[in-house]
Amino acid sequence: MFYEECPAPPNLQPFVTRLWFVRAKPQARYEKILPGPEAHLILNLSDPYRLISPDGKGGEAGATEVSAGFYAGLQRSYLISENPDRLFNVGARLTPYGLAAFTNQPPSKFQNRVVDAESVFPGFTELRSQLGDAEPGQAFEALATFLQHQIRPGYSADPRAVTAVETLAREDLEISVLAAELGISTSTLERIMMRECGTTAKAYSDVCRFNRIVTQAAALPKGSVPGRELLHLADYYDQPHLIRAFRRFSGFTPTQYLQVVQSYGAEYATFVPLEEVTR
């Protein structure tokens, strides 16, 4: 696998954090994409993907095909992707409040959804004609230039949302404590987060906590005892609570997750290869 990323140019920050490039042969036919603290704008330079609903609605026959470009908002559960024979993508990671810098559509509209990028970033898929054989440097320059032209002049995010996102991505903190540190009520913080990010502070905190634990768990040595080791890493009350969180966000138990990820490597912590669809 060839993967490269770089920080977003200063004039795109803090709305876009990083640009990334991948060209690889998939490890498996399918993969589970686990929820994380950022949204993604992706230009697909290979064949189409299929996204299969975790809840099984419609079955595989009802899977959604995504081809040229797509935007994946913040997710509250995993996605299942059926990969093409070759992966070739360039993309941007957006902060939860980042989308509002590019469109006046409410961020909540895109939570738990993957949509055609043209509905949010008009002209995005035209980059395909420029980047068919691109190397990372060329791809990053083209993507950054496109996004710089899309950004809304003079837009700035609510600094309270920016601080809340940065804090919750870094540490597990009671929402009431965070609100108090910001000098506002819990209900006001939740309204700000919903308006700026399309999600509540509590929901975002849950996803960030899960993302931190799977990233650390993937690096555990083989032979680790999942329950004991993961409870040491995480801020969950007890093992049943940990197992419920794992199932909700990934569809795996902790033991199943470690078995799969340790067979492929820590770099697949949040993009977990699957030989067959499992929900």
245 domain residue, yes or no: no
Selection from 139-143, 210-214, 264-268 with the highest mean pLDDT: 139-143
Q: How confident is the model at residue 255 (pLDDT cuts 50, 70, 90)?
A: confident
Among 70-74, 196-200, 238-242, the least confident range? 238-242
Q: In whole angstroms, give the CA distance from residue 57 to residue 63.
A: 9
45 domain residue, yes or no: yes
Evaluate if residue 4 carries a pLDDT over 90. yes
Q: What is the reported pLDDT for 58?
A: 41
- At 159-203, the pLDDT tens digits run 999 999 999 999 989 999 999 999 999 999 999 999 999 999 999
Number of domains forming the structure of the chain: 1
Q: What is the reported pLDDT for 240?
A: 78
Evaluate if residue 40 carries a pLDDT over 90. yes
Q: What is the reported pLDDT for 243?
A: 82
Neighbours of 145 (CB within 10 A): 12
Kindly state the average pLDDT of the residues 216-228: 72
Q: What is the reported pLDDT for 59?
A: 46
65 domain residue, yes or no: yes
Q: What is the reported pLDDT for 266?
A: 85
Kindly state the average pLDDT of the residues 210-223: 83
| C-alpha distance from residue 126 to each of 49, 121, 132 (Å) | 18, 11, 11
Determine what percent of the chain is predicted with pLDDT higher than 70.
Answer: 91
Q: What is the pTM of this model?
A: 0.89
Residue 105 phi, psi (nearest 5) = -70, 140
259 domain residue, yes or no: no
Contact 32, 79 (CB under 8 A): yes
Q: What is the reported pLDDT for 56?
A: 54
CATH number reported for the structural domain that contains residue 93 in this entry: 2.60.120.10
113 domain residue, yes or no: yes
Among 7-16, 30-39, 119-128, 245-254, the least confident range? 245-254
11 domain residue, yes or no: yes
Domain extent at residue 86: 2-150
Q: What is the reported pLDDT for 225?
A: 60
203 domain residue, yes or no: no
Q: In whole angstroms, give the CA distance from residue 184 to residue 186.
A: 7
Q: Specify the 3-state DSSP secondary structure of 174.
A: coil
- At 146-155, the pLDDT tens digits run 999 999 999 9
Kindly state the average pLDDT of the residues 30-56: 89
**Amino acid identity of 213?**
I
Kindly state the average pLDDT of the residues 133-138: 94
170 domain residue, yes or no: no
Q: What is the DSSP string of 70-126?
A: EEE---SS-EEEE--SSEEEEEEEE-TTTGGGT-SS-GGGGTT-EEEGGGTSTTGGG
Evaluate if residue 57 carries a pLDDT over 60. no
Buried b / exposed e across 160-178, counting CB within 10 Å, b at 16+? bbbebbebbbeeebebeeb
Q: In sequence order, what are the beta bridge partners of 208?
A: none
Q: What is the reported pLDDT for 253?
A: 86
